[in-house]
Amino acid sequence: MFNRVAFITGASRGIGRATALTLCRAGFDIVVASPEIEKNEEVATEIRACSGEAITVNLDVTSAESVKECFARVVKEKTRIDVLVNNAGITRDSLAVRMKPADWDLVLRLNLDGAFLCAQQVLPGMMKNRWGRIINISSVVGQAGSAGQANYAASKAGLIGLTKALAQEMGSRGITVNAIAPGYVATDMTSVLPEEVKQKILAGVPLGRMGQPQDIANAVKFLSSEDASYITGHVLAVNGGMYM
């Protein structure tokens, strides 16, 4: 019996880190991928401390060359990648009328183009093995929009479209492709928001609390499992009810 291999982008912190540790406990070998080399190693150390196997890669998803090199290295070392979690993401917020073209381009390139490039790298192996799971971390913002986040909303909505297209292309090969749309989650990305903004957001969450990275990691674990084998092209909202 072999352990399945899960490749997680943006795994050095937040949702990615929680997902890496959760899938490790579920018996997956983990690829910790991000450009934060030291933090990657910290996560890998945590994985090994709970008797899991981990390797780290210095991945820049905005670089097609970096993506190709990192995935090739993993396949050479582990022979296979069974689960891809496209979690890497950034924000560069501004009202659309003032948004710099460079900020639009960077957010789309990292959040959306990067996910596509990573998916391209794993699909041939998954098709050969006739088994695979691709899980794209979208956002409630990609479903509902958000003032001041035209670039982020467009990238996360694009991930939903990418998810549905790949699900249709890959279903006959035993590969499922799903998206998770987190709501307001306590991460480095949301920690910088002013307190009054946080309270305003919370007022619109029926469950009355911020989500935790573990809430998203639990959803990833489910979609990565055999229990989710008949679910594909789905957008799973993990948002406390803030968007229905």
Question: What secondary structure does DSSP assign to 40-72, as a single string?
Answer: HHHHHHHHHHTT--EEEEE--TT-HHHHHHHHH
φ, ψ (nearest 5 deg) of residue 156: -75, -35
Separation of first and last alpha carbons in the chain: 41
CA 47 to centroid of chain Cα atoms: 18
Supply 179's token pair. 């998206």
Q: Are the CB atoms for 136 and 179 separated by under 8 Å? A: yes
184 is catalytic: no
The residue type at 104? W
Beta bridge partners of 136: 86, 179
Distance of alpha carbon 244 from alpha carbon 52, whole angstroms:
37
- For 153, half-sphere exposure in the C-beta direction (CA atoms, 13 angstrom radius) is 13
Q: What is the DSSP-derived secondary structure letter of residue 230?
A: T
Residue in the block written with tokens 């991928």: 33
Question: Which residues does the annotation mark as catalytic?
Answer: 152
